[in-house]
Amino acid sequence: MKDKIKIGILSIQGDIEENFNACKDALKQLNIEGEVTNVKDYNEILDLDGLIVPGGESTVISTLLSLNQANWKLLKERINEGLSVMGTCAGLILLSKRSYDKRIGETKQKLLEILDITVERNAFGRQHESFETELEIPLIGEKPFKGVFIRGPVIKETGKDVKTLAKYDNEIVAVQQNNIIGTSFHPELTEDSRLHVHFIKTILKNKEPKNIR
Amino acid sequence: MAISLIAAETNSKGQKMKIIENKIIVKGSTLVKRGFAHMQKHGVIMDVTNVEQAQIAEDAGAVAVMVLDKLPYDVRKAGGIARTASIKSIVEIMDAVSIPIMAKCRIGHLTEAKVLESTGVDMIDESEVLTPADDENHIWKWDFTTPFVNGAKNLGEALRRIEEGASMIRTKGEPGTGNVAEAVNHIKKINKEMRQIKSAYQDNDYQELIKLSREHKVSLELVKEVGKLGKLPVVNFAAGGITTPADASFLMNLGCDGVFVGSGIFKSDDPSERARSIVIATTYFNNIKEVMEAQKLVDEKKSLLGLDTKNLELKMQERGPSF
């Protein structure tokens, strides 16, 4: 690879530092030179190779992001043009085309509408139903991956370009659509950075000459 | 290290296990409880007393709402005994907003806490804003599946609450006064005490670490973890007296992970604008231009006038068990 990669963590709200550290870990494991940076300003998105939309409250991130319509559009465009993105939990919801809350139903929440899935928010219920379990994610190896679900969503419908990466109890909980990865759980809360490693590999694949603008 | 699991009680009754298709599912584990608090980071948790306020809070960008019967300012004015909110209000709010719902129980009041857990609130605040129900002990929070947040005015208090199973800490400040000074004192004190531990840890000064653990009345293990991390092993928010966007930014700059706003929003005359502006100032806390723009959204004439913390009849931060 010719130059080092730059990954931004969308730093509006949520577990920003945990994703920051997971990316650093993943870069180290891959022995790749790269920079991880906190991104709050849209101008900073322009020179990124990858962006992580962290876990947190999706309504908060969406409310603050959509305050500036021009910037909201810019972010959508960059992802449509091929910027690699990974969204965990709240991030997954924000990237999705359609979402509803299990208890409340339709909400006013604005979505980026780029990942062709329908998400059910709070699908397992409230916090006392939150859980951790072992997931099988063949793409990243045989060893089970610890899935931490915090008021987690599930993916109810997927479009034709969307690959299922993991299921839990017959529900889809991780997907990939070309340059976009989304998980219902929080890989950043565990010590296992294999999903962040997979994200960086996706970035590298995306950075190959044919995709350079 | 993604999340610290220090001091986790191994036989915690709050941890529930079951097996589905040969896979172990664990609810209420330390990781899941502390993980919830991590999702609140960089957010604003707003005190509300009814559905209308909860919706204003959600629309403004609150990360969660805290349901009370009376806002702290009104608790002071009303006098008498302050107890947990009506279940009816809590359930109505749960049906109206999609963000997490928290509620307060009295310090040490095990049954109020169990009732709140049954209603399904996402987090319980064992709070000095309500009248303490036990002068000797706080709740043993390891017995709960629902995570707890507790107040602290110094590091010892924060670490003792963590040993009891708190998944999140907030400064006590002096609630319901509109005066941020006490919250500032508390976070500065905690920061100073953490620096002391960190430097002893870095110097490998075992004798000093033992001395500090005795001073703070907590286990050496926990003190060492603070030394290693250079911060608390759980998420740490600011609370008590936050009234303006500038207050929120100030506390975030002192190293808090997020803020609670009690009376500051719904005792003001511009709650929607104020709620939104405090959210913006919390996210962009270190960008003074954004904080200035947020500050423009509020009118100082509409702020909660507040109370002088020097002449208070009731000091909420002093209530509850001293240990």
Q: Could you please report the per-residue DSSP string of B153-187?
A: SSHHHHHHHHHTT-SEEEE---TTSS-THHHHHHH
**CB contact residues (below 8 A), chain B span 218-237, against chain A:** none
Known catalytic residues of A?
Answer: 89, 186, 188
Angstrom distance (rounded) from CA A117 to CA A99:
8
Domains identified in chain A, total number: 1
In chain B, where the domains are located: 30-188+232-298
Angstrom distance (rounded) from CA A74 to CA A53:
15
CB–CB of B31 and A188 under 8 A?
no
To the query of whether residue B310 is one of the catalytic residues in this protein, the response is: no
Q: Residue B302 — very low, low, confident or very high, per pLDDT cuts 50/70/90?
A: very high
Domain range for A196 is: 5-211
How many of the other CB atoms lie within 10 Å of CB of A154?
A: 22
pLDDT tens-digit series, residues B146-165: 999 999 999 999 999 999 99
Q: Residue B8 — very low, low, confident or very high, per pLDDT cuts 50/70/90?
A: confident
Exposure of A20 in the CB half-sphere (CA atoms within 13 A): 11
Residue of A132, A139, A130, A213 whose CA lies nearest to A176: A139
pLDDT tens-digit series, residues B217-261: 999 999 999 999 999 999 999 999 999 999 999 999 999 999 999
Whether the predicted pLDDT of A1 surpasses 50: no
pLDDT tens-digit series, residues A19-57: 999 999 999 999 999 999 999 888 889 899 999 999 999
Angstrom distance (rounded) from CA A99 to CA A106:
7
pLDDT tens-digit series, residues A176-196: 999 999 999 999 999 999 999
Residue of A97, A182, A197, A183 whose CA lies nearest to A148: A183
Whether the predicted pLDDT of A2 surpasses 80: no
Residue B146 at interface with chain A, using a CB cutoff of 8 Å: yes
List the strands of the sheet with B259-261, edge to edge. B235-237, B168-171, B148-152, B123-127, B101-106, B64-67, B44-48, B259-261
* Residue predicted with more confidence, A210 or A70: A70
* Residue predicted with more confidence, B205 or A211: B205
Q: Give the pLDDT of residue B199.
A: 98
Find the mean pLDDT for residues A14-22.
97
Find the mean pLDDT for residues A122-130.
96
Q: Give the pLDDT of residue A31.
A: 95
B30-188+232-298 has which fold? TIM Barrel (3.20.20)
What's the whole-number average pLDDT of chain B?
96
Q: Are A113 and A96 in contact (CB under 8 A)?
A: yes
The alpha carbon of residue B81 is apart from the nearest alpha carbon of chain A, in Å, by: 29
Q: Are B44 and B244 in contact (CB under 8 A)?
A: no
Angstrom distance (rounded) from CA B114 to CA B140:
12
Q: Give the pLDDT of residue A210.
A: 54
CA distances from B87 to B83, B103, B262 (A): 12, 10, 20
Angstrom distance (rounded) from CA B101 to CA B49:
12
Residue A78's CATH number: 3.40.50.880
Q: Residue B310 — very low, low, confident or very high, per pLDDT cuts 50/70/90?
A: confident
Residue B24 at interface with chain A, using a CB cutoff of 8 Å: yes
What element of type H or E holds B58? Answer: helix B51-60
Find the mean pLDDT for residues B178-197.
97
What's the whole-number average pLDDT of chain A?
94
Terminal CA-to-CA distance of chain B, rounded, Å?
Answer: 30
